[in-house]
A and B are shown apart, each in its own frame.
Chain A
Amino acid sequence: MTPSSGSGRVSGLDVARRPERKPGRLGMALVRASAFLTVAVLVFIIGYVLVRGARVLTPRFLLGFPEKMGREGGIYPSIVGTFVLTSLSVAIAAPLGIGTAVFLTEYTSEGLFSRIVRFGTESLAGIPSIIFGLFGFLFFVIRLGMGWSILSGSLTLAAMMLPTIVRTSEESLRSVPDIYRETAYALGASRWQTVTSVVLPSAVPGIVTGVILAMGRAVGETAAVIFTAGSSLRLPGSIFDPVRTLPVHFYILAREGISLENAYGTAAVLIIAVLLVDFAAYYTLHRVSKRRSVTGR
């Protein structure tokens, strides 16, 4: 403890007698201001994009095909592409991520092996998306010969969202009280039975929330997808076809100055998608934790 904290205590006693001069007035004001500035930035971003993009959001734009590189027409193939790519990456990453979390919480005690697994997961979480993009391009697109395709993009995204799913699942598994497990064991259940019939069901809200949040990040990801899923404007026929996801389409429209108007429209769709996903995550956690307050976090 520094000497200054001692003197702070003395002046604190001092102040208690003279409440008209409160120390930290300025500090408190700054702290409050930074919180409201943060929220203001958020509101501005969402408002700006939605207001500017709203004009473009017609059924023709949402369900139409792009014409002239996206200068005219709609974004239907990108909406479909984003949806399929995101769903597939969740389908790949969720079982692996939840499995890893079950392994870490239920099947090992803290030891060298679990430390290695945790190190791998944490390191993966810090890797920038462009590196995932490079890796996906080298490994899935070229080495495994999948080409620019939904499959390459999904596998890359799945690798990227894995740490998020592991961490949130692990947190919710750990929040299941041990008494549940002990009771199950006392009734003669095996470890696997305990996990599947007692632990996992209690942890479902937290796990689902984590998966949904990971999905939200995947929807907006650009750098990792542009080199693995390609930028074709055609409607994909199978998971082996390339797609141009919404963020990639938006990036190309905005950066190459193709159509600012359609860029705003695409951004608005993207923001709405992200907000819906966030709302779904919040709703899942909130509603279920209310219903089951014993395990609620």
Chain B
Amino acid sequence: MSRKEKFAEIALTVVGLTSVAVLALIIFFIFKEGSPALAHVGLGRFVGGTRWSPGKGQFGILPMIVGSFFVTFGALLTGVPLGLGCALYLSEFAPRKTAAVLKPLVEILAGIPSVVFGFIGLTVIVPLIRDHLGGPGFSVLASAIVLGVMILPTMVSISYDALRAVPQVYREGMLAVGANQWQTVTSVVLPAARPGILAAGILSMGRAVGETMAVIMVAGNATIIPVSFLDPVRTLTSNIALEMGYATGLHRQALFATGIVLFVIIGALNILARAFIRSR
């Protein structure tokens, strides 16, 4: 093997390790910066505490955990059926030409900056909710709608891939025994694609949990546990982004500790998604 060959191989190996190194650095720095706050406040009181007022030294993020959960759940309620329906149409029912036009359009949706989604939520959805349903408008519902739209591209493209991966023979077999297209889809194609569709749902969930700027603009950000879907809410991500600009000392560490909690939730979701994709 020539020296050039050897060099290329070593260089590529090093380059290949970049993402692992970046991941390790991220984990190291977030945990290093956040763990003093966890130790100081106590994990139980940090995760289970209902009061967040850094000025008084109270650091409980339960309202934000519940907030993230509600908002994410709401986003899944709106985004998953819509996204799955869209993927089904593109993969099973749409004429080839229509699908060829619609698929890139859905991909454009993925490229629209999250602040723009937030802004539309702020100027269109929040006033709609305030005027017709009551409350301040900045709410769980507004966040769920905005996030539901934002997870559409993830939901559509991963479910679409899962549906396309179902062998054509399955469909032909069903059609040959006299089933119509809808029966074929519901009784053969969907069950066969189920692991991939579940993975799409979980990855969409990860996106919804991790989204920050759009949620800040429509959620109202109050640090209380919401009791109605019209109540304002603050998520884990918003908590970090809202206060990071001016936080110092223990307060800042507590924000990084919020990051640790977020990190653990996302990590669990990704492992779950990977398990589903593997089981295919």
Binding site for B on A (CB under 8 A): 1-2, 4-5, 8-9, 11-13, 15-16, 22-25, 27-28, 30-35, 37-39, 41-42, 45-46, 48-49, 95-96, 99-100, 102-104, 107, 116-117, 119-124, 126-135, 137-139, 143, 159, 162-163, 166, 190-192, 195, 213, 216-217, 219-223, 226-227, 247, 250-251, 254-255, 260, 263, 267, 270-271, 274-275, 277-278, 282
Contact = CB atoms under 8 A, between A and B. Distances in A.
A32 B183 contact: no
Interface in B1-49: 1-2, 4-5, 8-9, 11-13, 15-23, 25-26, 29-30, 33
Contact of B29 (A123, A126, A138, A271): A138
Contacts of A13: 177-179
Interface stretch (B52-60, B78-86, B127-135, B225-233): B78-86
A132 B26 contact: yes
B115 A222 contact: yes
Contacts of A213: 111
Nearest to A193: B5
Nearest to B155: A38
23 contacts: A1-B191, A9-B183, A12-B178, A12-B179, A22-B182, A23-B180, A31-B85, A34-B81, A35-B86, A96-B18, A100-B15, A128-B211, A139-B25, A192-B9, A216-B111, A217-B110, A220-B116, A223-B241, A251-B115, A254-B118, A271-B116, A278-B107, A278-B108
A188 to B, nearest CB: 13
A271 B120 contact: no
Given A15-B180, A30-B85, A131-B262, A250 B119 contact: yes
Contact of A23 (B13, B15, B85, B183): B183
Nearest to A11: B183
Interface of B: 1-2, 4-5, 8-9, 11-13, 15-23, 25-26, 29-30, 33, 81-86, 88-90, 92-94, 102, 104-120, 122-124, 149, 152, 156, 174, 177-183, 185-188, 191, 203, 206, 209-213, 216-217, 237, 240-241, 244-245, 255-256, 259, 262-263, 266-267, 269-270, 273-274
Nearest to A213: B111
Contacts of A41: 109, 149, 152
A2 B241 CA distance: 47
Contacts of B19: 100, 117, 120-121, 124, 162-163, 166
> Sorted from nearest, which 3 A-B pairs have the closest CB atoms?
A24-B182, A128-B210, A220-B113
A119 to B, nearest CB: 8
Nearest to B22: A159
Contact of A278 (B111, B115, B182, B266): B111
A254 B120 CA distance: 11
A267 B116 CA distance: 7
B85 A127 contact: no
Contacts, number: 283
A207 to B, nearest CB: 15
Nearest to B208: A128
A189 B78 CA distance: 54
Contacts of B30: 131, 134-135, 138
B26 A135 contact: yes
Contacts of B209: 128
A270 B210 contact: no
A24 B18 CA distance: 50
Contacts of A191: 5, 8-9
A23 B102 CA distance: 26
A18 to B, nearest CB: 12
Given A130-B210, A135-B25, A217-B111, 12 more contacts: A9-B177, A13-B178, A15-B178, A24-B180, A38-B82, A128-B211, A192-B4, A192-B8, A226-B241, A251-B213, A270-B113, A271-B112
Contacts of B9: 107, 191-192
Contacts of A23: 180, 182-183
A99 B266 CA distance: 27
A75 to B, nearest CB: 14
A11 B180 CA distance: 10
A15 B178 CA distance: 8
Nearest to A24: B182
A270 B18 contact: no
A57 to B, nearest CB: 16
Contacts of B152: 38, 41
A130 B68 CA distance: 14
Given A192-B8, A271-B112, A135 B15 contact: no
Contacts of A227: 244-245
B119 A38 contact: no
A35 B267 CA distance: 31
Nearest to A132: B26
B16 A35 contact: no
A92 to B, nearest CB: 10
Contacts of A34: 81-86, 89
Contact of A128 (B4, B86, B212, B273): B212
